Structure 1
Amino acid sequence: MSLRVAVQMDPLETVKIGGDSSFALMLSAQARGHTLFHYDVRTLAYDASHGAAGRLTCWGAPVTVQKVEGAHFTRGEYRLIDLGEDIDVVLMRQDPPFDLGYITATHLLERLAGRTLVVNDPAAVRNAPEKVFVLDYARFMPPTFIARRIEDVKAFNQRNPGDLVIKPLHGNGGKAVFRVPADGSNLGALIEMFENAWVEPFMVQPFLPDVSEGDKRIVLVDGVFAGAINRKPGEGEFRSNLAVGGSAEASQLTSAEEEICAALGPELKARGLVFVGIDVIGGKWLTEINVTSPTGIVAIDRFNGTDTGAMIWDAIEVRHAAM
């Protein structure tokens, strides 16, 4: 069955097709005969005068995609699209920040329930921010502290002596992740910066030396393990995110990582979180559960000879058929 798929994402002109997971999902959908549309989340509009469910529209255009650098898409005429009537599946794939704009979009998309399938489920995405949802699985995490006061952070450091890592609670792609030496020489300046830049508290964890051996991205599809890559930091860098210069290598799961996946899988499936990427350091330390716009499937498929995009679309088609 051909589906009409609207992809809510950043401009197609900016896509780096060699490693972009959203683009890979679009290629996979198109190969199955699904029709693609692209729209910017900022064009969402909701009209409450159209009955109890209202009418949610966007300003979008039909697109076709191809894996040709510099000519990777063609776009038709923009038009008003009724996401409840004209579309079968919405892929919510715009990059964070996970701010009030992002949260508001999930509230609007949630109103499509029962008519149009939204992946990942918008209510679940809203209620499972990467560095907060993971706290439900603290037994797999390194010591973790969320706060704003420097006195609290210093007390945490006394209980967990050594270098620290400080990162924004709703950041992404390794941005604004800082290492604090054991003497705390830059702690005050960093906390001052965080207080001025973000209204929410920040996350603090001990620096894990194992990160030099990599930070594993593990992808689960509808709660089932699909594949993994190990991301290693670049020269002079402790962050392993590919977006900040990390490199990827093939990887298998450790027994501890298998235990983590088994613990998370049923809950992810129950919440409608179809495409999820979790991050694990040292083969055992769970640090994030990425649900907003997970990445990594292109590298995973390249190393493992798998087709994660097809697995994701299999899951989407099953969910859509059950609506």
Structure 2
Amino acid sequence: MANERLVTWICHPDDFLPEYVDKITEQMTERWAEPCARHGFAFRFISANELVPACDERPRLWHDGVDLLRTRQAYIVDDVSGDPQATHFLRGIYRAIDASDSVLLNRSLVGPECLERDKLAILARASTLGVRVPKTVALPFGRYARKGLDVVRKEIGEGPYILKAREMGIGFGVLKLDSYEQLRAAVDIASQTGQSYIVQEYLPNKGDLRVAMVDGKFAASMLRSPAEGAYLANITQGGSSSANPDVATVLGDVERIVADLQAGYLCVDWLLTDDGPVLGEWGTAMAEFSSMPEPARSQLADAFFPWVGRLLSEPAPAHSA
């Protein structure tokens, strides 16, 4: 099977307004172009709604009559959605690629795939390593969601709280609630969405510190800060960023996490509270370089593409046809 130095990002645009999708797509395409060219790669977006995964004597992924898995290339799959049916379809694409000769960059760690995206799984794993994590409660599903509120009161107290989906990103649908009464009403709404939610203690903080590691080595860092009077530091939610803040207070924990997960690529996010850093979450290849300010963006890109190149040059995994 021929190798292609091509990174294909399989996106799911249907959760967002078209103008937002167009803006992000244009920005990422622009920011990927120069480092791709410098490292001898091509880059493209393909919408998941244009794909059909299949299998006969080997996994296939059909796009406009062409099986994308006929050659070996690298993929990033945007495999989370607010639509439960879409989520299952995205995971089908993810698993077809993972079973093929191609390289699925989401799978940059050793362990169950939930450790790439599930905030509850991430925090539970980190807590076993002695890493400080926020108090977190996973709500039961549907009409049973209110049964989790007694545990919230026992574990977290009377608020303030953060309510968020277990598997969404970019600050989408993250709600700060100041009282138990507000939380109860928000849980009633969240319980009807078909998604799984967590409740966390709200921790006042100076911002969100991201530490990017490639092949076990520090590559770059970014500090995201919320706008005045806001609580979300995500750039897409109005936050601002600065490049390469000091990471000395968290680097030991980051290295321990990376070693435990045997992660080739990992970005680890920390809330900078007055009582010290607290783990927010981590991400694999979807936490990529284009959202970082310069010079951190170029630093991470210059570590990312050689890592991808090495993966493509290695023999295909044993499970491949």
| 1:14 pairs with one of 2, 16, 22 | 22
Which residue of structure 2 aligns with residue 44 of structure 1?
Answer: 51
Q: Does 1:32 align with 2:39?
A: yes
2:161–2:200 contact (8 Å) kept in structure 1: yes
The residue that corresponds to 1:74 in the other structure is: none
- CA deviation map 1:38-68 (0-9, x unaligned): 422233334433x2x24x1332xxxxxxxxx
Pair 1:102 & 2:90 matched:
yes
- Rounded Cα–Cα distance in structure 2 between residues aligned with 1:84 and 1:293: 20
From 265, 274, 286, the counterpart of 2:279:
286
Give the letter aligned to residue 277 of structure 1: C
Q: TM-score, normalised to structure 1's length?
A: 0.77
Which region of structure 1 is more displaced relative to structure 2, 283-292 or 147-156? Answer: 147-156
Distance 1:254 1:147 in 2: 33
For 1:230, the equivalent position in structure 2 comes to: 223
Q: Helix, strand or coil: the match of 1:145?
A: strand
User: Does structure 1 residue 133 correspond to structure 2 residue 122?
Assistant: yes
Conservation of the 8 A alpha-carbon contact between 1:8 and 1:41: yes
What SS does the corresponding residue of 2:61 show, helix, strand or coil? Answer: strand
Q: CA deviation at 1:166?
A: 1.3
Equivalence for 2:182: 186
Query: What is the identity, as a one-letter code, of the residue corresponding to 2:287?
Result: P
2:319 is aligned to: none
Q: Residue in 2 aligned with 1:172? A: 169
Letter in 1 for 2:9: V
The answer to whether the 8 A contact 2:5-2:74 is kept is no
Q: For 2:150 and 2:88, how far apart are their aligned partners in 1? A: 30
**Identity, % of aligned pairs?**
15
- Tell me how far 1:3 sits from its aligned partner: 1.9
User: How far has the Cα of 1:187 moved from its partner?
Assistant: 1.5
Indicate the residue corresponding to 1:70 in structure 2: none
Q: Please state if 1:83 is matched with 2:50.
A: no
Matched, 1:57 2:41: no
Which of 205, 229, 235 matches 2:200?
Answer: 205
Amino acid at match of 1:206: E
Structure 1 pair 137/95, CA: closer, same or farther in 2 (3 Å)?
same
Aligned residue for 1:197, secondary structure, equals coil
**Match of residue 73 from structure 1:** none
TM-score by length of 2: 0.77
- Count of residue correspondences: 289
Correspondence for 1:67 = none
Change (3 A) 1:234 1:225: same
How far apart are the structure 2 equivalents of 1:43 and 1:305? Answer: 30
What is residue 318 of structure 2 aligned with on the other side? none
- 2:24 counterpart SS class: coil
Gaps of 5+ in 2: 316-321
Q: Give the drift of 1:101.
A: 2.1
- In the TM superposition, what is the alpha-carbon distance from 1:9 to its structure 2 partner? 3.0
Mapped to 2, the partners of 1:58 and 1:37 lie a distance apart of 16
Structure 2 residue 135 is matched with structure 1 residue 143: yes
User: 1:215–1:281: 8 Å Cα contact kept in structure 2?
Assistant: yes
Cα 1:266–1:311 shift into 2, 3 Å:
same
Q: What runs of 5+ residues in structure 1 fail to find an aligned partner?
A: 60-78
Distance (whole Å) between structure 2 residues aligned to residue 224 and residue 14 of structure 1: 34
Counterparts of 2:27 and 2:279 in 1: how far apart (Å)? 24
Does residue 120 of the first structure (1) align with residue 106 of the second (2)? Answer: yes
CA distance in 1, matches of 2:37, 2:190: 43
Structure 2 CA distance for partners of 1:310 and 1:292, relative to 1, 3 Å: closer
- The 2-side partners of 1:124 and 1:43 are apart by 30
1:108 partner SS: helix
Given residue 255 of structure 2, which amino acid in structure 1 is its aligned partner?
A
Contact 2:79 2:90 in 1 (8 A): no
Give the direction of change, closer, same or farther, for the CA distance of 1:26–1:8 in structure 2 (3 Å limit).
farther
Alpha carbons of structure 1 residues 110 and 104: separation in structure 2 relative to 1, 3 Å? same
Could you tell me how far 1:286 is from its partner in structure 2? Answer: 0.5
Q: Give, as a single letter, the amino acid of the residue that structure 2 aligns with 1:81.
A: V
